[in-house]
Amino acid sequence: MPVLRRLLVVLAVALLAASCSTADTLATVNDNEITKDDLFALRPSYADAGTLTSEQVRQDLTLLIIIEALSDAANEEYGYELTEEAIDERMANPPDRYVTVIAPPEQFEDVTEDAVRASAAQTLLRDAVVPELALVESGGYETLMSERPEEVTRACVRHISTATEAEALAAKERVEAGEDFAAVAAEVSLDQANVGGLLVTQDGDCLVFLSRAGVEFARLAATAPLQTPSGPVDSNGEWNIVVVEDRVGPASVADLAADPMGFYDPDYISALYTPWLNGVLRTADIDVSPTVGRWSADGIGIAPPGE
């Protein structure tokens, strides 16, 4: 075993041994205790102290601290109570957006069902808080639907980008006269990276979140009639003609309100949730056993002992 690896193992074993010799509590969050049993429940490898590293202990304990702090904040600010029953339901029926993180533990390396339940808890907290944050930021679901449809819409879009409005109008006339859109795009569009003018994700999916485009382009693509050349619209100094081949979004305000997380752009979600999460962790009353390290509010994590 390399010297550094042996040292890390020794530190981790000593860290947990010291914790166990005095008390089971490894951390408190707003007076709620996180014990060594809570930590050991996350990984089969905790049964073999010789496989542990102090960094792994700190990372796993940080996860438990974060869940506890967010759960308290979600309850206090929005009245959301994270329950075992809700976690059971999320485990049994994870939304498509979470199937890769809420999967049977055998699909992961060194993970128990309790660890997967911790992931499920995180998704529930996220899904409870983000819609509340979005309502404040946007002014309501009706406002999003009427004034910012690009925030909740994905579409398969082809576009022709030109330097001038006149060039865009000429390209539109050719398409309206019966020429193939992709062929015209290949001939005149400034965007030659997207074949045939079709915008795609990194995975090759043509249903792209429109909010990642320029505002005017996105709003045109979110509202234009399907299969119809539309525009031109000025976007980031270029003029664009678009054809929307397909579009996915809420059919009504009630549809959006029923499952907002199913429609929001992940970038929009992150822009709302990450500042809230960071703020919660900086203001929560978090104390970590000195044998484990020191909670660093600025770094949002556990610093090693002595740092």
Q: What is the mean pLDDT of the chain?
A: 88
Q: Is the pLDDT of residue 45 over 80?
A: yes
Q: Examine domains 3-138+263-303 and 154-248 and report if their fold is the same.
A: no
Query: According to the model, what pLDDT value does residue 50 have?
Result: 66
Q: For residues 18 and 188, give the distance between their C-alpha atoms in angstroms, rounded to a whole number.
A: 71
Give 191's contacts (C-beta < 8 A, 6+ positions apart): 159, 160, 161, 185, 197
Q: Is the pLDDT of residue 6 over 60?
A: no
Q: Would you say 208 and 246 are in contact if contact means Cβ atoms under 8 Å apart?
A: no
Q: Is the pLDDT of residue 17 over 70?
A: no
pLDDT bracket for residue 51 (50, 70, 90): low
Sign of torsion over alpha carbons 282, 64, 131, 216: positive
Q: For residues 147 and 138, give the distance between their C-alpha atoms in angstroms, rounded to a whole number.
A: 9
Sign of torsion over alpha carbons 69, 70, 75, 80: negative
pLDDT bracket for residue 13 (50, 70, 90): very low
Half-sphere exposure of 227 (CA within 13 A, CB side): 1
Q: Listing from the earlier edge strand, what are the strands of the sheet with 286-288?
A: 32-35, 25-29, 286-288
| Residue type at 123 in one-letter notation | T
Average pLDDT score over residue span 210-218 = 82
Query: pLDDT: is 298 or 93 the higher one?
Result: 93
Q: What stretches of 8-76 adopt beta strand conformation (E)?
A: 25-29, 32-35
Q: Is 169 helix (H, G, I), strand (E, B) or coil?
A: helix
Question: 145-154: per-residue pLDDT in tens?
Answer: 888 888 899 9
DSSP 226: B
Question: 80-116: per-residue pLDDT in tens?
Answer: 999 999 999 999 999 999 999 999 888 888 999 999 9
Average pLDDT score over residue span 22-30 = 83
Give 270's contacts (C-beta < 8 A, 6+ positions apart): none
Query: According to the model, what pLDDT value does residue 7 have?
Result: 31
Classify burial at 229, counting beta carbons within 10 Å of its beta carbon; exposed 0-12, middle 13-18, buried 19 or more: buried
Query: pLDDT: is 198 or 72 the higher one?
Result: 72
Q: For residues 301 and 189, give the distance between their C-alpha atoms in angstroms, rounded to a whole number.
A: 48
CATH of the domain spanning 154-248, picked from 3.40.50.720, 3.90.320.10, 3.40.50.740, 3.10.50.40: 3.10.50.40
pLDDT bracket for residue 22 (50, 70, 90): very low
CATH number of 3-138+263-303: 1.10.4030
Domain ranges of the chain: 3-138+263-303, 154-248
% pLDDT > 70, the chain: 91
Q: Is the pLDDT of residue 163 over 50?
A: yes
Query: Measured in whole angstroms, how far is the alpha carbon of residue 38 from the centre of its chain?
Result: 26
